[in-house]
Amino acid sequence: MWLALREIARSKGRFALLGGAIGLLVFLNLFQQALLNGLVTDFIGAVENQNSPVLVFSEQARKNVEGSFLSQDQADAIAAVEGVADTALIGQNTFTVLAGGDDADAVLFGYELGGLGEPTALVEGTLPQGANLAVATEADADAGFGIGDEITILADGGPVITVVGLASESRWAVTPTLFVSYETFEAAQLAVNPGSEVVLPSLVAVQPDDGTDLDALTDAIDASVPGTEALTNQEAIDGNPAVVNTSQSFNIILTLGFVVVLVVVAFFFLILTVQKARPLTLLRAVGAPRAFLVRNLVIQIVLVMAAGIAAGLVLTFLAVVTAPVGDVAISVRPSTAISTVLTLFVLALIAGIASIRRVLRIDPIDATVDAA
């Protein structure tokens, strides 16, 4: 280990450059993951943080809540499927509203109060106990969606909704979101569509019987009720088109970031090993075992990666705390940081294989050969 530390001390500049480069790459990787987590949460938080374990969409919607509409006959048929203990209607739509004195877009999720579809991430206030009351999203409290604020649906006869509670991480489509009674949702829909005679629910929330397998139940609903697609809550989150498209784009960038770390570490230590081939040969000639040289190389890789990762974590923390990212609330989840760090260490060790193989091929007899 002392040999590894002495070499780092003698070549501070080059090792500092490598550590800095790794730190920047770690920062970019973690910050993008934090941004992805924030975007995903703001896309689907309203579905993720509600209490229905199964949601039924119309088949044509392709897991898109905005495109899903179910008839009352379908809702009744879902309730009759074996294994279903309870059902409830959920309505969803985006409305133009007056909030905080300004026009804005807001998503309404209408659910049957006290039942399925109720928000589960309440952090302040109470759940709505009647018509024209709402739980809003905590992130939008300062934009006219705070407790006590009134939000008006901008349409003739549109209801005036009073916010009585705030929920965290419960937005939909990165838009201020209100959880209201289903009757309030119907009133808003009829106000903006005065020619409509009936308001169709977007989803049917399902509570299974105790001990019922969720996957088996969703399959049974699909088979029993034509034109529907039943999904567990997690399937609805993972299959949301916005989440899928956003995750795919970010995953390509993140993968490239990991590849760059692999290439940078591999080339740096390979070049370093080539440059010090003569000293390494002399060490082998005076009796230094291969394991000793390999161990020192691995120690250098680990130390440089540890320093770079530490710098990257600090930069990420500072960026998350101070960087302006609009309305998206970003954060680094501990599980994300841990998995990223472990992946980077593994990639660094893989990157060092070429250098390790070169060290193992060093023949002590070469020390007797005239380099000229």
Could you state, in order of their start, the residue ranges of all structural domains in the chain? 2-43+242-368, 46-233
Angle between helical axes of 353-360 and 334-351 (0-180°, round to 10): 30
pTM for the predicted model, two decimal places:
0.79
Per-residue pLDDT of the chain (372 residues; tens, 9 = 90+): 566 677 777 777 888 888 899 999 999 989 988 888 888 888 999 999 999 999 999 999 999 999 999 999 999 999 999 999 999 999 999 999 999 999 999 999 999 999 999 999 999 999 999 999 999 999 899 999 999 999 999 999 999 999 999 999 999 988 999 999 999 999 999 999 988 888 999 999 999 999 999 999 999 999 999 999 999 999 999 999 888 888 888 999 999 999 999 999 998 888 888 877 777 777 667 777 778 778 888 888 889 899 999 999 999 888 887 765 556 667 778 888 899 999 999 999 999 898 888 888 776 666 566 554
| Token pair of 344 as six digits | 């980077």
3-state secondary structure of 362: coil
SS3 per residue for 196-231: CCCCCCCEEEEEECCCCCHHHHHHHHHHHCCCEEEE
CA distance 83 to 102: 47
Residue type, 281: T
CA distance 92 to 189: 9
